[in-house]
Structure 1
Amino acid sequence: MTSIRTRLFAILLLATGAVWFSAAWWIQHSTRVEVEQVLDARLAEAAGMVSSLLSDGRVELSSAAGAMEVLTTRADQGYSRQLSCQIWSLDGTMVGASGSAPEGRLTEADSGFSETLVDGERWRVFTEVNERLGLRVMVGDRLAVRDRLVSDVTRGLLVPALTILPFLAGLIWLSVGRGLAPLSRMARALSARSADNLEPVEEGPLPRELHPMGAALNSLFGRVAAARERERSFSAYAAHELKTPLSGIKTQAQIAAMAPDEETRRHALAQIEKGVARTDRMVRQLLELAAVDGATGGGGGKFDLMEVISGVVSEMRPPADAKGIDLHVDLPESLPVVAGDPVLATLALRNVTENAIAASSMGGVVELCVAVCQDLAEITVSDRGPGISAEDRTRITERFFRGQNAQGGGSGLGLSIAQAAMERIDGTLKFCTRKGGGENVTLTFTLMNAGVR
């Protein structure tokens, strides 16, 4: 890809060239207009002077045209004998002509300015009529001479300018390089950093135009540092949480191996089974958390809410039955299509339902009901457990956090997984104390094509 310096150089050079050539065209145009105006005025003055000399009797008619030789410009550049004069009677007889005049009649026009072709050359002619003497004075010059004069004047202005153009291109190249020097310094400074250096970039020395880039880099460094800290915390918490059940499994396995009787062995094996179940749940939730963290927003997907609820209820029936808990589901006859990722929605609803079952006592009831209101669908999972204390309510969705009223051997990941999954699909997760004891957890989804009328 072309470098910024090359692109800026090309843009500036093209812009300068466009302005340069526009100026050249304007110089040529304006020079031509000015020269033609001056030379036209000269033609008119010369014709008027000859007519005046003839009227005053200062010059004989036979020598009047010859007097035009005095008006001829003599120079080394080929402009000699520029003006030519012819004197004609009004009846069409040539009375006299200057030495540089062509043999043919300069113009057929009766008076004023005209352009004509004489002997293969184009002429610009001014005709002055002297009614008193019955004469027509014609003064003209060749258009080729005018064109050469305009070209010479334009060339004299443009040649020095074109000579300077390469030097200007070099100055543009150097100036662009100097202007981009702060970017190069920033690149070198960032390249010299170690992978662990996430300190903010100092925006003070940067030019004003680079402040947004510096701010964006600092924001990125902050997010990366936060992500690293979360990974460190995640690894530490996960290692700690996995260490406890694994140590228990190891201990119970040793007890089972050395058990003096069958009862002790059975009890140890039962504890091993619980430890394995706890570890299995922990690993599953860690994998779910990783899947949620790596998922993108679910703005483009859609799913059938009825299928998600049916799948979660079928999966949660066995653990609910094991505790004698009645998993009561209150669903309408049909449910709308919901925007989002069905996998993330399933993760959120399953973890909330699993948490409600774990919080409920033996023989309790967990209720799951759905309500559709305007552009939203709400699933409320209710239990009669101890609920969430006021002190824990603000931290209940933190990873590995277990509240004061937490039941069972959970890892503190379920609600954080549900919260993260709902955020990914632009949904919400709300907690509310249930009247009479327990907790209501509401998952809110956006209906597909909500807001389109």
Structure 2
Amino acid sequence: MTRRLIFSITAMMALLWLLAVGLGLVVMEEEYAEMFDGTLQDTAERLVPLVVDDLEHRGMLGGPLGALGDNRPSAAPQQLQTGNSSGDREYLIYQVRDAAGRVLIRSHDAPEPAFETPLKPGFWKNATYQFYTATDDKAQVFIQVADAFENREEALREGAIALFLPLALLIPVSGMAIWLVVRRAVQPVGELRRQIETKDGGNMEPIDAAILPRELQPIATSVNLLMTRLRTALDAEREFTSNSAHELRTPIAGALAQTQMLISELKEPANRHRAGQIESSLSSLSHLAEKLLQLSRAEAGIGIAEKPVDLTLVLDMVLTDFRRGMNDPQRLILHRAKGAKLSGPFSEDAFAIVLRNLIENALVHGKPGTPVDVFLDDGGPVRIVNDAAVMTAAELAAIRKRFSRGKTEAAGSGLGLSIVERLLGQMGGKLILFSRASGRTGGFEARVELPGIKQT
């Protein structure tokens, strides 16, 4: 928005300046024409009495000193010495002609042949010159002064350069000034945007509207009201989920224990089968309650810790816990590079929940009896790999959704990856899924990447 605003204002300002200069040149051209024409006319009319007086004294006109019939002009017109010793060209040239059209006197740069201008007082022009013809009262001589259009074009060109050259500096300087003013003006908008961007399930603190301009305060107030309502709804949801999970764990565990005792006492296969189905349902319900409890903790924003912790200890603890409950502990294999360590400002509980869900998924959904490999490399992410069927990109995207499960017969709630992504989002990390594991033609790989992790 800032760039568009700066560009639009600068472009509009530059366009208006160019338009103003263009209109100024049009007016300047008209004024130059009037000024040059006025100079041309004044020059011709001032020359008339001087030329007539000079010709009478020479006896080239009828008067006290002679008669025109007795003193005919020579074939070559007299060239007036104007004192142009510098060699510069004359801006105004003129010819003095008699009633017959013969050239009596001409200026230094005027041509010897007579101008093609008619012997008629007033303005006249051709492709090269603007002429003005003046005559005396008796119309015995005609003074014709010429001004080349080249002179007017040169003056207009120099005036245009004088107007356009400052724009070459003024436009970038104005653009910089506009940039500074606009950036300063929209800075509160950027600050409001940054504050809104930080708001999520883990940060629902109200925005300080008092530091914002009056125009933005209603927006901040509306956002605060929305966050208040959202925080209330989220707190109620988390409290219900947590309380429900806690309240369900004890009766479910009791019912499961009673069912297992009942199975051990039943003798008939049909009764034992029905009791086994009850046990399976209660186990699934217990697993779901555990996932809901993890989800409520994830929604509470437990991902970040104030101080760095050693996450390798958490990894070792989770693997040890899994192996104790497995019939085949050798199935879970840790590949740890020599001296590799994992530490960062993350919650140990959150990291343990992430590992438990990913390792549990790998054990449950991998091919039975195949190993599950956990890789902790020096300078790399944590990778959990199992042997599973290849999945399409659409299937990979589907299993990320809450309560969504892939094509599997294994038990599960469909919440594990949602919990993992929620916690990693709070940590600033991400979960990357590969249907073909690194270095393999098949298998499934879950890669956990955390920012600023220290691995040595």
TM-score by structure 2 length?
0.45
